[in-house]
């Protein structure tokens, strides 16, 4: 089962992905986490992308696609993957299809966390205060939201046309969202 957790920044993708990992043993592939780890480690890649993340812009397709391919390679035999924060562009979605097809696999389900943008702003200012993630500051967050609407939201009709898109109310409690995702997963394997 390969699942994409889809939605704007701060919709709760990371939180839900970690819960799915605990419950089902899937492997979470978060390009945001990978990039932050590279920055923290001070690697070449980290130095190249640091200012991009700080600005709330998108890292190049080439870089994030290479990261995902590396991780897919390193995780053969996994029961499934949860893609969190990837794909974010049409080119990334195409690369993901191709990478999975080479492994005799495919995207089985896309869960879209539907959230209200004003509520998101509130949620993210709370997260900024609690966790101090630099790109959660209100100005950068708005840039991230704009990027989502311009570059990532166009993926919605693509997955909807394939019949693999399910929408979940991302404004509900964490437990309720997990429950709704589990239901969609059960329906997808039935």
123 is catalytic: no
C-alpha neighbours within 13 Å on the C-beta side of residue 85? 24
Residues 6+ apart with CB under 8 A from 93: 87, 155, 158
Catalytic residue among 19, 123, 144, 147: 144
Cα Rg of the chain, angstroms = 16
Site pattern 29..68 for ligand AMP (x: CB under 6 A): --xx--x----------------xx--xxxx----x----
Token digits for 166?
Answer: 């399910």
103 is catalytic: no
* Cα dist from 44 to 50, 91, 132, whole Å: 10, 24, 24
Binding status of residue 92 toward ligand AMP by CB under 6 A: yes
**Which residue from 3, 29, 88, 95 is in contact with ligand AMP, where contact means CB under 6 A?**
88
Catalytic residue among 19, 88, 123, 166: 88
DSSP state of 148: I
- Give the three-class secondary structure for 84: strand
The smaller minimum CB distance to ligand AMP, of residues 98 and 179, is found at 98
Binding status of residue 16 toward ligand AMP by CB under 6 A: no
144 is catalytic: yes
The smaller minimum CB distance to ligand AMP, of residues 71 and 189, is found at 71
133 is catalytic: yes
Please give the residues from 123 up to 162 whose contact with ligand AMP meets the rule CB under 6 A.
135, 144
């Amino acid at each position: 089962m390969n699942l994409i957790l889809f939605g704007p920044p701060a919709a709760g993708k990371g939180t839900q992905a970690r819960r799915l990992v605990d419950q089902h043993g899937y492997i979470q592939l978060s390009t945001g986490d990978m990039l932050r780890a590279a920055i923290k480690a001070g690697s070449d890649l980290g130095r190249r992308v640091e200012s991009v993340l700080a600005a709330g812009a998108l890292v190049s397709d080439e870089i994030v696609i290479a990261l995902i391919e590396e991780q897919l390679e390193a995780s053969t035999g996994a029961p499934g993957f949860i893609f969190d924060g990837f794909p974010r562009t049409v080119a990334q979605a195409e690369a993901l299809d191709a990478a999975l097809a080479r492994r005799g696999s495919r995207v089985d389900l896309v869960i879209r966390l539907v959230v209200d943008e004003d509520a998101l702003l509130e949620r993210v200012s709370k997260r900024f205060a609690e966790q101090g993630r630099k790109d959660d500051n209100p100005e950068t967050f708005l840039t991230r939201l704009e990027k989502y609407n311009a570059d990532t939201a166009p993926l919605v009709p693509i997955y909807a046309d394939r019949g693999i898109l399910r929408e979940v109310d991302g404004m509900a409690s964490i437990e309720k969202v997990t429950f709704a995702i589990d239901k969609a997963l059960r329906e997808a394997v039935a």
